[in-house]
Amino acid sequence: MVLLSGLFGVSGILHFTHDSELVRITPLPYSYEIVWLTGVMEFVFAVFLLVPAYRRVTGVLLSIFSLAVLPANINMALNDIPMFGSQIDPWAAWLRVFMQFPLILWILWSTDVWRTDYKAQ
């Protein structure tokens, strides 16, 4: 759980330290605001993943969030948009899109979303 929380914590930081890079892959108006809002959301998710009483609902919400940001990753792959100052090989950009699905499965599995006998510790 700490690894998953750390992943989203670091990602949240990147939304503020590299916002101009992330704005380029955001295919919507108000891109800066969206990048900052999603950065804050990633911080909140990172914290609540570590709180057992909220872990399961956080897993569900974080999975939905991960699907919601998928269009930005697809936009980056389709339009060959550089990330963090470097051009990404097309296969790597599409791998990033594909890896969103194992990430969602990891989130759901690690937060016990599928368990029927779940009790927060």
Nearest CA to 26 out of 69, 61, 80, 87 is that of: 69
Residue 116 is assigned to a structural domain of this protein: no
DSSP string covering 56-113: HHHHHHHHHHHHHTHHHHHHHHHTT--BTTB---HHHHHHHHHHHHHHHHHHHHHTTT
Task: Please check whether residue 19 lies inside any domain of the structure.
Answer: yes
For residue range 60-87, list pLDDT tens digits in order.
999 999 999 999 999 999 999 888 778 8
Q: What is the mean pLDDT of the chain?
A: 92
Write out the residue range of the structural domain in which residue 101 sits: 2-110
The answer to whether position 54 is within a domain reads: yes
Q: What is the pTM of this model?
A: 0.88
Query: Does a structural domain hold residue 117?
Result: no
Contacts of 114 (CB under 8 A, 6+ apart): 108
